[in-house]
Amino acid sequence: MTENDFVPRRPLSPGESGKVSWTAPSNIALVKYWGKKGEQLPANASLSFTLSDCKTQTSLEFEPLKGKSAEIKFDIFLDGKSREDFRSKIQLFLSRIQKYFPVLPHYRYSIHTSNTFPHSSGIASSASGMAALAACFTEMEALLTGGMETDFFMNKVSFLARLGSGSAGRSIQGNIMEWGQHPGVPGSSDLYAIPYPFDLHPVFHTYRDTILLVETGIKRVSSSSGHELMLGHPFAGPRFEVAGNHIERLRDVFKNGDLDTFIEIVEHEALALHAMMMTSSPSFILMRPATLSVIEAVRDFRNQSGIPICFTLDAGANVHLLYPEEHLSVITRFIQDQLVAYCQNGHYLCDKIGKGIQKA
């Protein structure tokens, strides 16, 4: 599919007022995307686990105007409170999607959103938030046009979500999503994410993700700024090649349930992401001392117990612990006995593999 496939084939006419609501989860990348090209397109393909409980619920109320507005009119609320600080990001998103939803400036919108996890806690709220908002606008279009086929609906939600936050395009379906054109993944595209098209061993259907909140609050560098630092990065080419190779290797890993290789690849990807940030110009060190302590403790626990737990990181200090559900009780004790001390205020979040967006 091309961008033009997402432009409505016939003019949309403003209809009546309405309201739609969707929930969307966050996701955690296994193979990291770091670096952009064009308009919110990935410099390398990525793979992610779709989460379940760390999610955003968004409702979109829309009311037709008497005529076309010069600027898109909207109000944005988080947990019932007006958030003007979100306005610029929403404005940018709406400006990007207007080509694909040309009736946009003929309405006034009220956007109400809430998260099941703390805002600025290091969980990708932009991914879940933009995915939920994209689902609302796509349903609005479906209502105005008389319906939309499910597969196209999902692709368009991912396509629009990506224009708000690149990783948001991976939060649409589950259990594993692939985003970015890759010669070894049929149907893959830079424009939207797709459900992983290959065999998946049963062990990966019930994977758990416990997020240790080492440091909460606003990140020291935004993801957008971090992606820009890959332009001209001396190690960018090799990094993109390694990411592609990891996607190739994971095909057998996911099919056979090879957890040793899964751990090797996932932890390499996490550390490579931070290595790229530490060697960019300017450079950023987003891991904290507690992050490194957790990593060491996880590796020691794995070596001593033989339990296949591993860590991954986003562009921040917090640590995601990934492990099969069958080891939940033992790993919960390990977290409480050894790792809670490294969490800010002792906080951590428990999540698991999920299925993507849901109508609320």
* Residue-level pLDDT at 225: 82
Contacts from 346-349 at CB under 8 Å and sequence distance 24+? 347/121, 347/213, 347/216, 348/210, 348/211, 348/212, 348/213, 349/53, 349/54, 349/117, 349/121, 349/123, 349/210, 349/211, 349/213
Write out residues in the chain with pLDDT < 50, as ranges.
Answer: none
pLDDT tens-digit map of 197-231: 999 999 999 999 999 999 887 666 777 788 998 99
pLDDT at 10: 74
How many Å apart are CA 226 and CA 86, to the nearest integer? 20
Peptide linkage before 175 cis (omega within 30 of 0)? yes
Q: Are 35 and 58 in contact (CB under 8 A)?
A: no
Query: Strand ranges (DSSP E) for 196-275?
Result: 207-212
* Cβ-based neighbours of 311, under 8 Å, separated by 6 or more: 266, 267, 270, 294, 295, 298, 319, 320, 321, 322
Percent of the chain at pLDDT above 90? 86
**pLDDT at residue number 218:** 67
The confidence score (pLDDT) of residue 120 equals 56
